[in-house]
Amino acid sequence: MERVYAALARVPLFRNLRQEEIKLEPLSGTLTNVSYKVTAGAAAYVLRIAGEGTSDYIDRAAEKHNARVAAAAGINVEVIYFDAEDGTMVTRFVEGISMHGEQDWSREVAAPIRAALLLKRVHRLRKVFASRFDVFAEIEDYVKLLGGWPPTLPQEYYEVGQKARAVRLALEASPVPLVPCHNDPWPGNLLDAGARIYLIDWEYSGMNDPMWDLGDLSVEAGFGPEQDRLMLEAYCDGAASPALYSRLELYKAMSDLHWSLWGFVQHAKDNPAEDFWSYALGRLERCTARMSSAKFDPHLDAVRADRPPTLSLRPPPPGAPRPTGALTKGSIR
């Protein structure tokens, strides 16, 4: 608890309060950070202490900027304090239910629709996020991090490399305008407050293809074809094109590959929150199954041939990164 009280002492809001004036309650739901509900008088807040080593792969200055932009738009909870040096953050506490576990996505028809409309609000923010999320570059960074630690990556990872390169080339052939994206919309980051849903935890936020967010949500929430349809039709205000469904499928595969590598990094760092080796192997196995499906190559062809892009969003704000022919010049190993 010394670390917690030391973090609170750095926050101007709590600096002059005695420990006995503060009530702390640990919060669950995070795998890399530690969070507490902090009650001081009649007000309640959330203190987030960043996990050790997370600065190796998270840009805290960008997170600070992006989280505040989203909060100003009413999408994120209010950010009271953010130290970009160590990742300590204080936000306003919002009473709500995490949509991870408590929410049955397969039976609650409105859930995929509400989540899709929330992501659409993110993508239409008229601000430029202070970072770029490129899944292929992210994967390469994880591989570089893992290069100095045992154990080595399993052979299955190298076997999906050729398909991952094919995905990159297909997306390069049909670029879309980059927009603000959350990039980690798993249900645990969706807080249902009744009248609205808040999207929290902006660690991986950045400018990206908006279909990444929808593909990642689909994977993390365990959507089937019907939930994907509800999500896309809500997002597109009507029927989505076959090419857009194919783009979604490519990002679903890359989501599993990305979070598999993330899991291997957590295992290498001895994160005790979960059995990350098994988690990473499971995600990698699912990625391999997606890429080995008879439907995957037709999805690649459909995205590669899709010109102009099927997704029509308003023009990006001035200063936004422009789509180019290459998301990254590196290769997936």
pTM: 0.89
Residue with tokens 């997170």: 63
47 φ/ψ angles, rounded to the nearest 5 degrees: -100, 125
Would you state the pLDDT for residue 100? Answer: 79
Would you state the pLDDT for residue 320? Answer: 53
Tokens of 12: 């101007």
Q: Which residues 6+ apart lie within 8 Å of 264 measured at CB?
A: 142, 146, 153, 276, 277, 280
Would you state the pLDDT for residue 16? Answer: 87
Checking if the pLDDT of 318 tops 60, the result is no
State in Å, rounded, how far the first CA of the chain is from the last one: 42
Q: What does the pLDDT average to over 5-24?
A: 92
Using CA atoms, how far apart are residues 296 and 288, in angstroms rounded to an integer? Answer: 11
Checking if the pLDDT of 96 tops 50, the result is yes
Summarised one tens digit per residue, pLDDT across range 146-197 is 887 777 789 889 889 889 999 999 999 999 999 999 999 999 999 999 889 9
Q: Where are the beta strands (DSSP E) in the chain?
A: 22-27, 34-40, 43-49, 79-82, 89-92, 97-98, 179-181, 190-192, 197-199, 206-208
Q: How confident is the model at residue 112 (pLDDT cuts 50, 70, 90)?
A: very high
Q: Which domains does the chain have, with CATH numbers?
A: 2-92 (3.30.200.20), 112-304 (3.90.1200.10)
Residue type, 99: M
Percent of the chain surpassing pLDDT 90: 74
Using CA atoms, how far apart are residues 148 and 153, in angstroms rounded to an integer? Answer: 12
Would you state the pLDDT for residue 325? Answer: 34
Using CA atoms, how far apart are residues 124 and 118, in angstroms rounded to an integer? Answer: 10
Q: How many CB atoms lie within 10 A of CB 104?
A: 9
Q: Are strands 34-40 and 22-27 parallel, antiparallel or unpaired?
A: antiparallel
Most confident of 249-258, 301-310, 321-330: 249-258
Q: What does the pLDDT average to over 262-268?
A: 93
Checking if the pLDDT of 323 tops 50, the result is no
Of the CA atoms within 13 Å of residue 22, those in its CB half-sphere come to 20
